[in-house]
Structure 1
């Protein structure tokens, strides 16, 4: 028996670099699957740790919510050693090439696309702002949203660096994410999980502060 589908969580540590700066970061790696197969969201920093979490299950895909180096820097190693494809929205190619100038992702994520693993269907939602090709993955039957760096427990993702835009991320959050059921658990790329209901009332504050 494959067991019930479940969400698994791994925290890895490393650095994020952009615009000439480098910062120490901790990243959330999310795994969705059962005892037989699993999908990885954001293979960050530590391929060994990600592969250990996968174990002897079939890895169906390495999905990148966006291509900042801290979210993709273990993706190639994990993919090469597992045979799984790397999936990325094409509008993040400019960021992807900063980490992998000589390698392309294996497949494209598109708004409205569907990914299936272990009986769980994930809807791809293009949510630009933090990055041009940023996506979130929504699993209705799990009541879960994997938000990358678009939405956190304390507000929207950062937009102060290249290829980001505050107005765009606010529109993505307002029009795409806050329309989901309030009970939806939000699993972000960094930090603690939250819910749509917990974050929705704060949208006017974020707009007023400009972040």
Structure 2
């Protein structure tokens, strides 16, 4: 079955195979958080994006291959509820945006800054710091050398708009500026977007609506 990214809590993961990286998406918890397991196809090394909830479900997805690291996209509680349990069971290193590290009650091994490289085996991804939904929100960009790019946006970009900034005009301006300059301006329309909740999208589907988002202020 082709990958769609349409998952539901209690259901199976949806798995996408690229030449160098396997991407598995699963929904967990009572507010439908997405978690993503990235596996280097050459080495088998794995990285989990957002240990959001249901540690047993996430550990089952990780399987016997072990887990090298967990990247938490931002400090909000619903994205790290299973982090302590997953780290305890796997010994994985923890990564989070530097400005959000103090908001997560699990020690951070690797604080991330804008432009830092995150490696999964032989695969390299780049952390982009998107300020607004939280002070240290991180998106993770994978530029597939043999396909279209992929970007894991946490709660900073969804189908239909940027993340919640609690009607704060300064936070909204910061977030939409960062999303426009660091994501839309640098990546093509066929970039696949994997958000922290709900369905996936592409930059091409969202790009025409950027002026509308900016005008409405959310």
Number of matched pairs: 193
> What TM-score comes out, normalization by structure 2 length?
0.83
Q: Secondary structure of 1:30's partner?
A: strand
Aligned position for 2:56: 48
Q: Which runs of 5+ in 1 are unaligned?
A: 15-24
**Compared with structure 1, are the counterparts of its residues 117 and 201 closer, same or farther at alpha carbon in structure 2 (3 Å cutoff)?**
same
Aligned position for 1:155: 161
> What TM-score comes out, normalization by structure 1 length?
0.86
Q: Which runs of 5+ in 2 are unaligned?
A: 1-18
Q: How does 1:27-176 map to 2 (within 5 A)?
A: 27-34=33-40, 36-96=44-104, 100=105, 103-141=106-144, 143-160=149-166, 165-176=171-182
**Compared with structure 1, are the counterparts of its residues 75 and 40 closer, same or farther at alpha carbon in structure 2 (3 Å cutoff)?**
same
**Compared with structure 1, are the counterparts of its residues 62 and 204 closer, same or farther at alpha carbon in structure 2 (3 Å cutoff)?**
same
Per-residue displacement from partner, 1:179-205 (whole Å, max 9, x unpaired)? 211111000000111011111111111
Per-residue displacement from partner, 1:69-116 (whole Å, max 9, x unpaired)? 0001111110111000111112113432xxx2xx42222112111111
Aligned position for 1:6: 22
Q: Secondary structure of 1:165's partner?
A: helix
Q: Distance in 1 between matches of 2:57 and 2:136?
A: 26
Q: Secondary structure of 1:6's partner?
A: strand
Aligned partners of 2:101 and 2:111 also within 8 Å: no
Which of 196, 199, 203 lines up with 2:203 in the alignment?
196
